Chains A and B, each alone.
Chain A
Amino acid sequence: MDLLTFTDKGLYCEAAGIYIDPKKPVDYALITHGHADHSRWGHKRYLCAQLAKPVIKHRLGPIKIQSVPYGERVTINGVHFSFHPAGHIVGSAQIRVEYKGEVWVASGDYKTTSDGISTPFEPVKCHTFITESTFGLPVFKWKSQDQVFEEINAWWAANKAAGKTSILCGYSLGKAQLLLAHVNPEIGKIYAHAAVENVNKVIRKQGIPIPECTRITPQVKKSELPGSLIIAPPSAVNSSWVKPFGEVSIGMASGWMAMRNNHYKRMADKGFTLSDHADWEGLNQAVEQSEATRVIVTHGYTAAYSQWLREKGYEAEGINLH
């Protein structure tokens, strides 16, 4: 019997009686991070990494939740659990599970490069490594974050010179804060969509330096906007929302922008390849550093990535959780 098994409620540890990032309501849920596809409402008890707790509480409201610092061991029914930095967003964690000498790591979403605001990814040695594969193909390779922000800042400055308002899209939890932390505030004024600023507030309270920005409201004068930068979630950016802002340029920050033909092609004028997930090299590096001999691939290009690992000698299988 495997230490962790995939059930219709989610990743299950029978020995401990807990689930990791469960999809359906359970008694006890261990949560890797605050994104909606990992932390859901309706469980009786939650446990997460200390840095992830404020955002999860902000998103889910009154829930019964405990947290532990990275690396600290929690034992449930004789199974040892600990949370380790995953570098994906603030507070994101890989969950290490140890029982009778066998070690598994459920990595959740992760990124192996350091982004300056989330705690950098730490390789955790294990026997079985559960990895995502959102970008698990060789065509996905990220250039350095510094280079991308050079492009973003140049784009903003050029828009400003042309009298345009820059709208930069990124998910309100994670990407938006990453953008805010690295755009150059000397170029102009920064605004944020309410959904972004609500998360910002929570994260600033944790002592993580997210620059101040003005909430964009109907009261903001249109005349103030040209030259400024608005950070907004992609779901909010549509023609009717953008209309009152006058002449705009819409940028999209996502790993998918590496390809010319992507989902956002019609929406965005400019794409920036910036992801909070590991690229091809990052996935391979994480698998190697885990020193695992067995790898379970979830989320993304599961069939291709597990085949690749098998050809490299791993015992690997792809599992589609959806």
Chain B
Amino acid sequence: MKAFTRLYLELDKTSEDSERETALVRYFDQAADPDKLWVIALLSGQRPKRICSISLLREWVEEAAGIPSWLFEEGQKVVGDLAETIALSLPFPVQENSLRLSEWIKLIQRLGNEAETKQKQAILEAWDQLDPPRRFVFNKLISGGFRMDVAPTILTGALALHTGIEGNKIAQRLSANWSPDESSFENLILTEHALEDISRPFPFSLLRLLEGSVSDLGDFSDWMAGYKLGGLRAQLIKRDGEVFLWSEANELITPKFPEFDHLKTLLPDGIVLDGDIIPYKEDWPLPIHELHARISKKKLSRNIMEQVPVIFMVSDLLELDRTDIRSQPLAQRRVKLEAFFHHVSAESLLRLYPLITAENWIELSHKRTNIREKDSIGLTLQKIDAPYPTTDDYFWKAPPFKVYAVLLYAQSSGDLYREFTFAVWNKEALVPFAKANTGLKTEELQQLNSWIKMHITERFGPVRAVKPELVFEIAFDGIFRSKRHKSGLTLLEPRIVSWEKDKDLKEAHRLADLEALIR
């Protein structure tokens, strides 16, 4: 269990995707098959049943370590995690134990059926054979408290690197119903599954953020412009009577959207559509975070499906009548796509992204200025003669919202204050409405840090309140109502544009100005 403990601590330490993937690959490359299978199970939320309560463990540890209850609690106040406090409160192990993860789990599962005295004896013995980090992981496993949220795409990516099997195949294999007690690594990961071939998506054409000037893209007539709503990029596949949805991150997300099951009867076979899943209710797109909230739910309730209904907005057609048409130029695919929509009536689930007509870049730029009135977060620019995928696929963001706001709180990370909370006026009071941690140059950040140190008025944990005095311009890409926030608002990607050193406190915007931005 040494290798697994190391993996657990590495995953626990970082939230950086690439580092987590590297740690997983390193683990898989050296682990035995039964252990790999259990790691896959644990990381996808299948954990062994809890065999005893954590409070019982506490009793035993106080006895084994010879410390009174209150003293154990003092330790817990400092350490935080109960399983970790237990691991650290015990004396160092006197023996060594080389059982592997899967063997430990078997042992733990067997203990589940034993009487309490047997359990106690076995657990005390285990504690005596494991060093504190392994003890900590062991405690998590036996108390049912094991949690390690790793994005499915990271796990899939790591397994793909480890096995050399394509990521979407792995994702398909993992999406089946399986249990680590009945399956094997060989069966689950290395063996072809029945529906694999028909479910396969095409590699996505990457939509790149347009950063320079549009006129650099060349002749306007070579390009096609379309609206873009805030949603989740996906390919929708209908083959052999089945519907599959794949996210751009190579994740099979069909089970998350049962409403698209209806398309089984509404669409012909041999169709692949590119587009976005949009949270959409009563003819309005909902804020994107509501879609994220729906996706993150482990169990999809009727309630959430009613609160956050979805539609699929189609931007491209990649397969028609079982024929891959990706090599055809975009203009031709678009003609076929529009014709396809004439024959299909699935209005409540499937819609076509309209194109934006303009004569030249200047007219298009004008239309972009008001694009939010069409609920769009920006527009897409695609070359009309390009195949799929292409590098000539751009996303041109709608211009951001900008407001002036007052610095209210600062939070340090490492050696500097890096995360800032900003406020706007509501009558005579300042109401916090945005947190931002990007946008300042290094020198400005340093300068701001020295200012903060001299103007702290209060401390709450890692957060410092500062004297309301500095004004900043804040940009953001979207604004929505939110009951969970003090201001009643939540912003999309707030960031600092500039430190407005000449602006007076009173020149900051008012809450009413922000509310007026919401459609």
A141 contact from B70, B80, B92, Cβ within 8 A: B92
Partner pick for A266 among B72, B74, B414, CB 8 A cutoff: B414
Of B81-89, B178-186, B205-213, the one with at least 4 CB within 8 A of chain A: B81-89
A205 at the interface (CB under 8 A from B): no
Q: Which residues of A contact B88 (CB under 8 A)?
A: 138-141, 258-259
Which of these, B68, B78, B413, contacts A259 with CB under 8 Å? B78
Collect the chain A residues with CB atoms within 8 Å of residue B132's CB.
Answer: 258
Residues in B with CB closer than 8 Å to A314 are: none
* Cα A260 to Cα B67 with chains together (Å): 22
A170 to chain B, nearest CB (A): 16
Residues of B within 8 A of A143 (CB): 92
CB atoms of B75 and A137 under 8 A apart: yes
Q: How many Å lie between the Cα of A265 and that of B14 in the bound state?
A: 10
Number of residue pairs across A and B with beta carbons under 8 Å?
60
Task: Using known A-B contacts A260-B9, A260-B12, determine if residue A238 contacts B416 with beta carbons closer than 8 Å.
Answer: yes
Pick the contact of A239 from B9, B91, B414 — CB < 8 Å? B414
Is B415's CB within 8 Å of the partner chain A? yes
A301 at the interface (CB under 8 A from B): yes
CB within 8 Å of B: which A108-143 residues: 137-141, 143
Q: In this assembly, does A99 line the interface, its C-beta being within 8 Å of a C-beta of chain B? A: no
Q: Which residues of A contact B89 (CB under 8 A)?
A: 138-139
Q: Is the interface of B mostly helix, strand, loop or mixed?
A: helix
Is B71 interfacial (CB 8 A cutoff)?
yes
Nearest-Cβ distance from residue A285 to partner chain B, whole angstroms: 14
Contact assessment for A259 and B79 in the assembled complex, using a CB-CB cutoff below 8 Å: yes
B315 to chain A, nearest CB (A): 40
The interface residues of chain A lying within 8 Å CB-to-CB of B80 are: 259, 261
Q: B79: which A residues are within 8 A, CB to CB?
A: 139, 259, 261
The yes or no answer to B13 lying at the interface (CB within 8 A) is yes
Cross-chain contact A137 with B414 (CB below 8 angstroms): no
Q: Chain A nearest CB: distance from B325 CB in Å?
A: 45
Quote the shortest CB–CB distance from B304 to chain A (angstroms): 33
Is A267 engaged at the interface, CB distance under 8 Å to the other chain? Answer: yes
B217 interface residue per 8 A CB criterion: no
Known contacts A139-B88, A265-B13, A301 near B414 by CB under 8 Å? no
Given contacts A137-B74, A240-B442, A267-B414, contact A311 B68 (CB under 8 A): yes
Is the CB of A245 closer than 8 A to any CB of chain B?
no
Q: Which of B78, B132, B442 neighbours the largest number of chain A CB atoms within 10 Å of its CB?
A: B78
User: Is B346 part of the contact surface with A, judged by Cβ < 8 Å?
Assistant: no
Known: A139-B89, A240-B442. Is A304-B71 also a contact (CB below 8 A)?
Answer: yes
Which of A138, A239, A240, A260 counts the most B-chain CB atoms under 10 A from its CB?
Answer: A138
Asked if A308 lies at the interface with its beta carbon under 8 angstroms from chain B, I say: yes
User: Given A138-B65, A139-B79, A260-B81: A308 and B414 within 8 A (CB)?
Assistant: no
Neighbouring B residues of A260 by C-beta, 8 Å: 9, 12-13, 81, 84
Let me know if B75 and A238 touch, CB within 8 A.
no
Report the Cα distance A258→B136, complex, angstroms: 12
Closest to B133 in A: A260
User: Cα distance A300–B70 when bound, in Å?
Assistant: 17
Residues on A with C-beta less than 8 A from B415 are 237-239, 267
Chain B residue with the shortest CB-CB distance to A256: B78
Taking the closest CB of chain B, its distance from the CB of A136, in whole angstroms, is 9
Residue on A nearest B76 in the bound complex, by CB: A139
Residues 43-72 (chain A) with a chain B CB within 8 angstroms = none
User: In whole angstroms, how far apart are the Cα atoms of A238 and B416 in the complex?
Assistant: 9
Q: Give the residue among A258, A267, A269, A304 with the most B Cβ atoms within 10 A.
A: A304
Chain A contacts of B12 at CB under 8 A? 260
CB 8 Å contact bits of A294-322 with B (1 = contact, 0 = none): 00000001001001100100000000000
Which parts of B470-484 form the interface with A (CB within 8 Å)?
A: none
A143, B13: Cα distance in complex, Å: 22
Task: State in angstroms the CA–CA spacing of A261 and B414 once bound together.
Answer: 13
Which of A140, A258, A259, A265 has the most B CB atoms < 10 Å from its CB?
Answer: A259
Q: Are B442 and A137 in contact (CB under 8 A)?
A: no
Please tell me if the beta carbons of A238 and B414 are within 8 angstroms of each other in the complex: yes
Bound-state CA distance A258–B91 (Å) is 14
What residues of A have a CB within 8 angstroms of the CB of B413 in the complex? Answer: 266
Cα A11 to Cα B78 in complex, Å, equals 28
Ranked 9 nearest A-B pairs via Cβ: A238-B415, A139-B75, A139-B88, A304-B74, A137-B75, A138-B89, A266-B414, A267-B414, A138-B67
Kindly list 20 other residue pairs between chains A and B, CB separation below 8 angstroms, not including A137-B71, A260-B12, A308-B68: A138-B67, A138-B71, A138-B72, A138-B89, A139-B75, A139-B79, A139-B89, A141-B88, A238-B415, A238-B416, A239-B416, A240-B442, A258-B132, A259-B78, A259-B88, A261-B79, A261-B80, A266-B414, A301-B78, A311-B68
Q: List 25 A-B contacts (CB under 8 A).
A: A137-B78, A138-B67, A138-B72, A138-B75, A139-B75, A139-B78, A139-B85, A139-B88, A139-B89, A140-B88, A238-B415, A238-B416, A239-B414, A239-B415, A258-B88, A258-B132, A259-B80, A260-B81, A261-B80, A267-B415, A301-B74, A307-B70, A307-B71, A308-B71, A311-B68
B→A interface (CB under 8 Å): 9, 12-13, 65, 67-68, 70-72, 74-75, 78-81, 84-85, 88-89, 91-92, 132, 413-416, 442
